[in-house]
């Protein structure tokens, strides 16, 4: 007899509370192995393939592609112990709210779910390490099933089920279509996602803080919503549905008011063409990477008293040194070194001289925390939006090593395979906005860091060199810094040292 185990969305780390299903990698009925990726999800940090810690046959999937699920919500169920198919006398029967792929409601369980831990032990523990479930078999546990959900529990056909008395409740019951003799409360059988319900004085079933904030921004009373998630949990889809209903109601009121204001007998063509032809504004949800960037930038502007200084530098010598390095042959030849790698190496040398800028502010303790190592972030524009991969221990690397790591992380960013750990933990950020063909900018600090160096495009300009006017390769450098960690003298000294290294790369020889 196969034992059906439920796999829930694990905690993906970095404080993430929900994820959006991007692509299912398995279908209902597929046989999966332990640690086989079963679904690709997108968080506020990155896209991640989630492996299943169980091996067996997929019996149900929860949620369509594009659905957002909170951490701990069921992803799928797996029948363990039947490598050649489900050994049952009939097919698996999905619950009333299962999706078209055979999904079952989140509260469902099989008759053998109480002994699910033994199945995991027999099939071997998961070797994958994701926050939320480990590498060994899960500890045995008993699940208590609410009495009012017993009659909605999907079972394996032909398997004996324990009968339990359903307590009487002062609600009307309606039979479920296709299941004679099975009754559920009429309220739950007709509830739709985002539908309104009588105001409850009890706790609001919301897990995600993003859902609460979205409701506050649109004046949605969560107590009046009926959640479509497990045990009535209110999901973002429910709030989005309520927002759309509110907008449609407001639009209907506006149309009614316009119709009332139109003179009797006037033809529709006589109405103002501007009012009838006005296109509706497009609303784009701030979610995923775009939402995470918006939150971080807003927090930076709110918490950090930043200031910006900038300087033009003659990068002719730096470009000549790079050309000579890349043209080297023989034993001294090596991988090509990019301008960004040279600038990153200059930043690590400058931070060694001015460690105040490699720090963060602990607002609760009212302390400046100077960090021992440099984890250098660099801004990268991708199809999913702006991301900032982090080069770990950049202060221990040379230009060639930094360049190789930047190239590796950039490729992962383009393919959407960066992990949350590769996008967090930076202590200083380098932003090369010159690739967009612009000269200058005032960067916003990547919270909770203390500074960011911006680099414009390098282009030929008239420049006084050795007392004569000449055409030189000029770049604008801008430094935005947290004024709490240092004064303008420190920030100016840092930026001047960077400019000196750009103009005279031989200055770097002192620190090599």
The listed range with the strongest mean pLDDT (147-156, 294-303, 472-481) is 472-481
Three-state DSSP class for 374?
coil
Residue 329 has pLDDT above 90, yes or no: no
Which residue shows structure tokens 């069921």? Answer: 74
**15 — pLDDT class (breaks 50, 70, 90):** low
Residue 165 has pLDDT above 90, yes or no: no
**236 — pLDDT class (breaks 50, 70, 90):** confident
pLDDT tens digits, 24-66: 999 988 999 988 999 988 876 677 888 998 889 898 999 888 8
Q: Identify the residue with better confidence: 330 or 394.
A: 394
Residue 118 has pLDDT above 50, yes or no: no
Q: Identify the residue with better confidence: 429 or 129.
A: 429
Residue 374 has pLDDT above 80, yes or no: yes
Q: What is the mean pLDDT of the chain?
A: 76
Confidence at residue 293, expressed as pLDDT on a 0 to 100 scale:
80
Residues of the chain with pLDDT > 90: what percent?
A: 36
Interatomic CA distance for residues 271 and 305, integer angstroms: 52
Q: Identify the residue with better confidence: 255 or 123.
A: 255
Interatomic CA distance for residues 431 and 403, integer angstroms: 15
Q: Average pLDDT for residues 263-281, to the nearest whole number?
A: 61
Confidence at residue 267, expressed as pLDDT on a 0 to 100 scale:
52
Helices (H), 125-218: 186-190, 209-217
Catalytic residue from among 218, 395, 465, 483: 483
Lowest mean pLDDT among 4-8, 214-218, 338-342, 360-364: 214-218
Residue 442 has pLDDT above 50, yes or no: yes
Q: Identify the residue with better confidence: 281 or 123.
A: 281
Confidence at residue 470, expressed as pLDDT on a 0 to 100 scale:
96
pLDDT tens digits, 75-109: 999 988 744 444 443 444 444 444 444 444 444 44
pLDDT tens digits, 465-500: 999 999 999 999 999 999 999 999 999 999 999 999
Q: Would you call the peptide bond into 448 cis, given omega within 30 degrees of 0 as the criterion?
A: yes
Q: Identify the residue with better confidence: 111 or 417.
A: 417
Residue 408 has pLDDT above 50, yes or no: yes
* Tokens coding 244: 């759309």
Confidence at residue 511, expressed as pLDDT on a 0 to 100 scale:
67
8 contacts 74 by C-beta, under 8 angstroms: yes
pLDDT tens digits, 208-225: 666 777 787 888 887 788
Give the containing element (helix H, strand E) for 7: strand 3-8
In 3D space, the residue among 308, 326, 356 whose CA is nearest the CA of residue 476 turns out to be 308
In 3D space, the residue among 108, 132, 118 whose CA is nearest the CA of residue 9 turns out to be 132
483 has catalytic annotation = yes
Burial code of 62-77, b = ≥16 C-beta within 10 A, e = fewer?
Answer: bbeeebbbbbbbbbbb
Helices (H), 207-235: 209-217
Q: Average pLDDT for residues 323-345, to the nearest whole number?
A: 89
Interatomic CA distance for residues 74 and 481, integer angstroms: 44
User: How distant, in Å, are the alpha carbons of 149, 156, 168, 177, 189 from that of 173?
Assistant: 13, 25, 11, 13, 9
Residue 229 has pLDDT above 70, yes or no: yes
Reduced to 3 DSSP states, what percent helix, strand and coil does the chain have, rounded to the nearest 5?
A: 35, 25, 45
Q: Identify the residue with better confidence: 298 or 181.
A: 298
Q: Identify the residue with better confidence: 16 or 499.
A: 499
Q: Average pLDDT for residues 118-133, to the nearest whole number?
A: 44
Residue 392 has pLDDT above 50, yes or no: yes
Confidence at residue 389, expressed as pLDDT on a 0 to 100 scale:
94
Residue 163 has pLDDT above 90, yes or no: no
Confidence at residue 274, expressed as pLDDT on a 0 to 100 scale:
54
Read off the pTM: 0.53
Contacts of 121 (CB under 8 A, 6+ apart): 137
Q: For residue 265, how many C-alpha atoms fall within 13 Å in the half-sphere facing its CB?
A: 0
**124 — pLDDT class (breaks 50, 70, 90):** very low
């Amino acid at each position: 007899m196969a034992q059906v185990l439920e796999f829930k969305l694990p905690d993906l780390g970095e404080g993430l509370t929900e994820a959006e299903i991007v692509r299912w990698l398995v279908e209902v009925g597929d046989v999966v192995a332990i640690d086989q990726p079963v679904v690709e999800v997108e968080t506020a940090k990155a896209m991640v393939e989630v492996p299943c810690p169980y091996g067996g046959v997929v019996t149900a999937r929860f949620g369509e592609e594009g659905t957002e699920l909170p951490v701990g919500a069921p992803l799928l169920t797996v029948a363990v112990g039947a490598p050649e198919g489900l050994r049952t006398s009939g097919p698996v029967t999905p619950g009333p709210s299962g999706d078209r792929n055979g999904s079952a409601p989140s509260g469902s369980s099989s008759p053998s779910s109480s002994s699910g831990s033994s199945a995991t032990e027999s099939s071997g523990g998961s070797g994958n390490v994701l926050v939320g479930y480990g590498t060994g078999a899960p500890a045995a546990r008993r699940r208590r099933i609410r009495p009012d959900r017993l009659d909605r529990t999907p079972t394996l056909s032909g398997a004996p089920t324990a009968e339990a008395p359903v307590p009487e409740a002062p609600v009307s019951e309606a039979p479920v279509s296709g299941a004679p003799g099975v009754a559920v409360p009429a309220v739950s059988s007709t509830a739709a996602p985002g539908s309104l319900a009588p105001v409850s004085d009890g706790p609001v079933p919301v897990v995600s803080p993003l859902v609460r904030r979205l409701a506050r921004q649109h004046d949605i009373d969560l107590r009046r919503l009926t959640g479509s998630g497990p045990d009535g949990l209110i999901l973002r889809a429910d709030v989005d549905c309520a927002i759309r209903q509110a907008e449609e109601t407001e639009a209907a009121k506006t149309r009614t008011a316009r119709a009332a204001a139109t003179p009797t007998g006037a033809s529709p063509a006589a109405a103002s063409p501007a009012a009838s032809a006005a296109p509706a504004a497009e609303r784009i949800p701030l979610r995923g990477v775009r939402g995470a960037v918006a939150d971080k930038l807003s927090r930076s502007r709110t918490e950090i008293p930043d200031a910006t200084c900038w300087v033009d530098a003659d990068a002719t010598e730096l470009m000549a040194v790079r050309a000579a390095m890349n043209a080297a042959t023989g034993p001294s030849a090596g991988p090509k070194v990019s301008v960004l790698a040279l600038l990153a190496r200059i930043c690590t040398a400058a931070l060694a001289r001015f460690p105040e800028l490699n720090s963060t502010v602990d607002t609760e303790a009212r302390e400046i925390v100077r960090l021992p190592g440099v984890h250098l972030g660099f801004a990268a524009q991708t199809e999913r939006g702006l991301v900032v991969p982090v080069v770990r221990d950049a202060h221990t690397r040379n230009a060639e090593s930094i360049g190789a790591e930047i190239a590796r992380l950039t490729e992962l960013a383009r393919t959407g395979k960066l992990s949350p750990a590769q996008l967090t933990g930076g202590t200083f950020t380098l932003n090369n906005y010159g690739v967009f063909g612009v000269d200058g900018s005032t960067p916003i600090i990547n919270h909770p860091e203390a500074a960011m160096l911006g680099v414009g495009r390098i282009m030929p300009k008239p420049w006084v060199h050795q007392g004569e006017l000449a055409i030189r390769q000029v770049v604008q450098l801008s430094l935005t810094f947290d004024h709490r960690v240092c004064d303008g003298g420190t920030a100016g000294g840092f930026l001047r040292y960077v400019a000196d290294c750009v103009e005279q790369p031989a200055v770097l020889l002192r620190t090599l």
